[in-house]
């Protein structure tokens, strides 16, 4: 059975983006930057997965950001199959992307029962919250940046009931970013 892995960045106070969707806090203005090392970890994760799932917002953003990229992550993002859940988007011009109007509560469990590599979600705070609320996430890989935003787009706020997670591992970087891995 395949697992669904949610891999997202967040601020120390739990926001996926600051007010107005600002995400410039992902890279520190000065000091050590471990972005290349973290990026290699994301490439390794993507290479272990057979499907990317996204919501409409994440699908639209990534469909404009990744095509044409020849970076190792770009190659994977452009070649892996992608399933975008949306009631507003009919299609995306992005290689191997399919749009579905199906309910995540129905489609994700069916996808997890299929043979193959794991499923990954790399973005979309609203979509991530919906996956968490429906208890569809098997593993959380949260990249926590050492910044407090105070306001913005919350990542996991509003799940209907507490969910206890088990720590699988952590990786700390010189720039203060820590990746936490949890099993649901």
What was the pLDDT predicted at 169?
A: 97
What the chain holds in terms of domains, given with CATH numbers, is 4-21+33-183 (3.40.430.10)
Please give the average pLDDT of every successive group of 10 residues along the chain, which has 184 residues: 97 95 81 79 94 95 92 94 93 94 97 97 93 97 96 92 96 93 97
What was the pLDDT predicted at 158?
A: 86
Place of tokens 């891999």: 7
pTM for the predicted model, two decimal places? 0.94
Left, alpha or beta for 170 (phi > 0: left; psi -120 to 50: alpha)? beta
- C-alpha distances (whole Å) from 93 to each of 51, 120, 162 are 17, 20, 38
């Amino acid at each position: 059975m395949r697992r669904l892995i949610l891999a997202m960045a967040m601020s120390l106070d739990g926001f996926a983006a600051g007010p107005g969707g600002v995400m410039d806090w992902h890279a520190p203005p000065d000091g050590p930057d471990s972005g290349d090392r973290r990026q290699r970890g994301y490439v390794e994760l993507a290479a272990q997965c057979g499907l990317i799932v996204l919501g409409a917002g994440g699908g639209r953003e990534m469909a404009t950001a990744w095509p044409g990229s020849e970076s190792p992550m770009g190659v994977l993002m452009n070649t892996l199959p992608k399933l975008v859940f949306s009631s507003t988007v009919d299609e995306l011009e992005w290689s191997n992307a399919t749009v579905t109007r199906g309910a995540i509560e129905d489609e994700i469990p069916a996808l997890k029962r299929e043979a193959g590599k794991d499923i990954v979600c790399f973005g979309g705070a609203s979509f991530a919250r919906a996956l968490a609320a429906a208890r569809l996430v098997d593993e959380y890989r949260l990249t926590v940046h050492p910044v407090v935003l105070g306001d913005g787009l919350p990542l996991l706020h509003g799940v209907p009931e507490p969910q206890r997670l088990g720590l699988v591992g952590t990786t700390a970087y010189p720039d203060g970013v820590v990746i936490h891995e949890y099993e649901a």
